[in-house]
Amino acid sequence: MTPDHRSESLMRLMLSLRQAGVTDKRVLTAMESVPRDVFVDRAFKDRSWEDRPLPIACGQTISQPSIVAVMTEALNVTPRCKVLEIGAGSGYQTAILARLARRVYAIERHRPLVRLARERLEGLGIHNVTIRTGDGTRGWPEQAPFDRILVAAAADDAPRMLLDQLRPGGIMVVPVGQSDEVQQLIKIEKTEDGLDYTVLSDVLFVPLIEGMPEENGP
């Protein structure tokens, strides 16, 4: 991709984000500054700036940029926030969060993806991220509580173990749905009186799976 083509593609992508209703300048700046082509497989480099999900290793996908932006804006990350990300994939959403937060802790259940994400983040000079292989349904108890939690996989309901790791006053954004066809993106705010739920949009994510895949070994 030539520099001119890349610039035009980025402009179209940023327009798509605004058309999706994203207005937060910090989020838009973060999306513009993170090169999505770094986080996609070589076969899809020419399509990396399109507003669509793309296949990555281990049978997973890199999320559609407009969905990444909507989720990030709903999370309302501030420079003081400690963020937990469940389902880091190739590290694209992780890099966006790292541009906005004080610290990001990211979990991915596929070890090959963790290796790739770590290399890509380091290559971009992003050093406020700790990423590890693990069961995302269990969160990261030793680092809890978190100010923000983003879940990039669909659960049947808001995961209680993750909600327990959310600081009072914190926000979780999670896709919820019991099938591959009907899912909703939910914003959950943890208050002194309980949990406030806001439905953001219809979405389609891979399921949040408990346990670890066989590829990771013992």
For residues 62 and 44, the answer to whether their CB atoms sit within 8 Å is: no
| Residues acting as catalytic residues | 63
Query: For residue 8, how far is the Cα from the chain centroid?
Result: 25
Token duo for residue 210: 């408990």
Contacts of the segment 53-60: beta carbons below 8 A, 24+ positions apart? 56/89, 56/90, 56/113, 57/90, 57/110, 57/112, 57/113, 57/116, 58/110, 58/112, 58/113, 58/213, 58/215, 60/89, 60/90, 60/110, 60/113, 60/206
Query: Three-state SS for 213?
Result: coil
State the amino acid at position 79 in one-letter form. P
